[in-house]
Amino acid sequence: MSAFQFRWGWVRVLGWYAVCALATLSARAAWTGALVPAYFAPDQSADWQALANAADRVPLIAIANVFNGPGTERQQAVATVLQQVRDRGGRVVGYVHSTYGKRPLEQVRADALRWGEFYSLDGIFVDEMTNDTASTNLTYYQTLYHDLKTEHPEWLVVGNPGINTREAYLTGPSADLLVVFENRVGYLTYQRDLWTSQHPTSSFAHLGYQVPAANFPTYLGLARTRRAGWVYFTDDALPNPWDRLPTYWPALVNDLEAKNAAEPLSISLQRGENGVFRLRIRSIPGLHSVQASSDLRTWFDWVPVRVLGEEEVVELPWAPAQQRYLRVVR
């Protein structure tokens, strides 16, 4: 875990009760994470290692793409690099294309479910999503969303129209997260839809390519003012602007980490049944460590927890009964 982003709170435990809770949670989080189209080969070890390292420091979702989808068989090299990112606290979603509602729905569904058969992952990225109000298109993506959530309720479904879209795609729902900008030009003058103000920033992402190193800090600032909770900018270019990390990747991660450092972390404890308790963690997405102590001086790592949204509730057995304090570290 990043020393820079080290933040923790603790509760004292007597029997099953939380005697004092920590940290006041302020207004809803304003953190920013990286949504990275990781369309690079598994043998690009430097890029994958940099991606995994970043997942330990900032909220991160990697979009995996083997061959315009999951491919026809599991590849161990792909499984290894994807798990490497997940082990460090990042999430991985698998790429499928929908050809703006023209591709047969059963083919899209089959590709999405094949991702889950081949690899351990956290959701699906639906590319080439429509943005109009045609009932056939809305039904197409709502049906896909329903089918995926039926098979994998825990999956995150990311939709990519690449431009401003209609609120119905989010509320339908057709996606949990929408990419509402993807281009190499036009970001300086981009105007977001007003309806986006009624939803969490974590529901929207902006992606830009062929962005020079001198410009990306400005773009990051604009993304925050435009309520994009997930961002990614790269100096990579067509024909595939997503086949490597940007040359300024370390600086981009540093910027995100610095801005996120002040985000609150809060935990609370509730008695459960059958020898367990419920620990509620409210924080930014990423890997957290539940630690225990008997004297507030010596702490040991008890269990890792991946916070996927802005809140995670875990049930844990109270095994180390001699330990009287808990804290969560990110």
Which tokens sit at 166? 């209609």
pLDDT band for 324, please (50, 70, 90 cuts): low
Q: Does the pLDDT of residue 274 top 80, yes or no?
A: no
Q: Does the pLDDT of residue 17 top 50, yes or no?
A: no
E strand segments, the chain: 8-14, 17-18, 33-38, 60-64, 91-97, 123-127, 156-160, 177-183, 204-208, 230-233, 266-271, 276-282, 286-293, 300-307, 311-317, 325-329
Distances (CA, A) of 197 to 1, 193, 203, 226, 229: 32, 8, 10, 9, 12
Residue with tokens 């790592």: 301
Rounded Cα distance, 306 and 288, in Å: 6
Over residues 290-309, the mean pLDDT reads: 80
Q: Does the pLDDT of residue 13 top 50, yes or no?
A: no
* pLDDT tens digits, one per residue of 221-233: 999 999 999 999 9
Q: Does the pLDDT of residue 108 top 80, yes or no?
A: yes
Torsion of CA 230, 234, 239, 240, to 10 degrees: -60
Query: Is there a contact between 308 and 122 (Cβ–Cβ < 8 Å)?
Result: yes
Q: For a pLDDT cut of 70, what percent of the chain falls above it?
A: 89
Which tokens sit at 20? 């004092």
**CATH architecture, range 33-260:** Alpha-Beta Barrel (3.20)
> Which residue did the predictor score with more confidence, 238 or 9?
238
pLDDT band for 320, please (50, 70, 90 cuts): low
The pTM is what? 0.86
- Bridge partners (DSSP) listed for residue 280: 268, 313
Q: Where are the domains of the chain?
A: 8-25+263-329, 33-260
Rounded Cα distance, 229 and 30, in Å: 7
Handedness of CA 292, 296, 300, 301 (dihedral sign): positive
**CATH architecture, range 8-25+263-329:** Sandwich (2.60)
Q: CATH topology of 8-25+263-329 equal to that of 33-260? A: no
- On average, the pLDDT of the chain sits at 87
Distances (CA, A) of 112 to 131, 149, 171, 305, 311: 21, 11, 21, 26, 26
